[in-house]
Amino acid sequence: MREALFVKQNSGKWKSYEQLQTANPDELAERFIDITNDLAYAKTFYPKSRTTAYLNGLAAGLHQSIYKNKKEDTSRFITFWKFELPELFYTYRRQLLYAFLFFLVSGAMGVLSAKYDDTFVRLILGDGYVNMTNENIAKGDSFGVYKQQGPVEMFFMIAINNVYVSLLTFLSGIFLSVGPVFMLLRNGIMLGSFEYYFFSRGLGIESILVIWIHGTLEISAIIIAGAAGLVLGHGLLFPKTYTRFQAFKNSAKDGTKIALGLVPIFIVAAFFEGFITRYTHMPLWLSISILGGSLAFIIWYVIVYPAKLYKRNQIS
């Protein structure tokens, strides 16, 4: 290949590597490998050209960046939460949107089904839960279910269950993304019928103020887990220029990071459900503060901050 053609084919990529900065060590490693491959080619066919000298300098700069990131061993945890996970949220923002829409539509389906079929709530939630809740409503303690177990026992049980459901939702993406869609539809229909059940008994606002103290984080994390599953299946369905196996490896790595990144969110949600939700008559301002703070955090960390991070990386 002539040098001019080689430069023409790759100059855009080289410039992007110069201009777009990243703190992601995986991205730095991929760029370094790519540049060293181009450098090896240039050294073979154009050993004394300016192109070779330019690539050598670019490779040296990337190597220095990687070396600096060795410090990351002691701050890997911080780097993951501050850069890697938000960058993945931005990269896969479409999957996040699709997961949200799937859940929203299924929630509406649950509401409509419960409204026009008196047996639907019992079919979805089970006779035992409905009968127990009806008894609690009659006793004037509509959400007494959250007081039946000790807070510590409840916390561990819910945390383990939520993490299990999250990982199952993610791993089901290996079935060409059908699994996450099914899990989102299932959970959305359940939530829709659940909320209709309380609204139909005049307890809708109370259910929001009580249940969504923990539900805001819990439901948001389930939606994000569904998006992680869609990411996993994306590599199999749309490999683009990669081999299907390589595309799957890349999407599996990214999806795993997103799924594992949800664990602390589920733990906080389980803490709220085990220790806080049981206080069903807490002051209105406190309930709204917890609920609103949780929602603001999700919107900021999953949508707003990743977009700002992306724009900042483009400018720098």
* Dihedral sign for Cα atoms in the order 127, 128, 130, 136: positive
Reported as type and span, the H/E element at residue 89 is helix 85-91
Give pLDDT, residue 50: 84
173 by Cβ neighbours in 10 Å (0-12 / 13-18 / 19+) ranks as: buried
Give pLDDT, residue 194: 94
Query: Comparing C-alpha atoms, which of 177, 171, 212, 194 is closest to residue 98?
Result: 177
Query: Comparing C-alpha atoms, which of 197, 198, 192, 218 is closest to residue 291?
Result: 218
Give pLDDT, residue 265: 95
pLDDT tens for residues 126-158?
A: 999 999 999 999 988 889 888 888 999 999 999
Q: Extract the residue ranges of the chain whose pLDDT is less than 50.
A: 72, 74
* Dihedral sign for Cα atoms in the order 81, 224, 287, 149: negative
pTM for this structure? 0.76
Query: Comparing C-alpha atoms, which of 169, 195, 171 is closest to residue 182?
Result: 169
Give pLDDT, residue 66: 65
> Which residue type sits at 199?
F
Residues 230, 251 contacting (CB under 8 angstroms): no
Give pLDDT, residue 239: 86
Query: Comparing C-alpha atoms, which of 5, 6, 3, 16 is closest to residue 62?
Result: 16
Q: Which two tokens stand for residue 146?
A: 């959250």
Give pLDDT, residue 30: 79
